Structure 1
Amino acid sequence: MGANIKMVKLQNAFGEDETSRIPKNFIKGNELNSISFNSCDHGTYFTGGGVAAHNHIGIEEIFYFIRGTGIVILDDEEIPVKAGSVVVVPPETYHAIKNTGEDVLQHVVCSAHV
């Protein structure tokens, strides 16, 4: 059995143009011929920036925070995060992220179809 491995440098990831954050997608499931793997992204949120509450039908996400401080909101629960924090977002759960610190808030998030 072989493994699907793809090496991508974050600086070569695909960026999107936004004002309060910079999301970069660096791998999609279809690039690995995977049915369950959805994507892996790197997010940078500027001071006060974030992403509004939203949910994903049939997709679970795992966030690993690598820099800064902020909060993740899961449904009605506020979870403080900092570098080293891990947050699992179950499918259909409304979630939001907000940078509450002076520095940028950065994370890597991987998602999979369930």
Structure 2
Amino acid sequence: MIKIFSMSLIIMFISMIVMSLASIMSKKSFYDREKNSPFECGFDPKCSARVPFSLHFFLIAIIFLIFDVEIALLLPIFIIMKFSNVTMWLFTTILFIMILLIGLYHEWNQGALEWTN
């Protein structure tokens, strides 16, 4: 037990020394304006490299992904129909499609599907 404890202490001590040496040696004290600026064919950039991202486009992309996953969940419904009880299959399918339609109506009602305001 003592051997395992002493070996783990030695390993932790060596790893802490290596991490602290790497941290000390990797510090750069020389900052160059040209190296810290974005590279644009050797010229100074005319505008900011950070273009503002459209939140509306992001929301439409997320809605597309959600509906894409829902389509992937709808595809096996017809294969399952052969192996399940028809009334239970019909109830489950109608419930699932109703949940999807309510979600679609909610998104449409909130105006999330409008591309321009």
Shared fold by TM > 0.5?
no
Which structure shows the bigger proportion of residues in helix conformation?
2
Q: TM-score, normalised by structure 1?
A: 0.17
Q: Which has the higher contact order (CA 8 A, sep 6+)?
A: 1
**Pair member with larger Rg:** 2
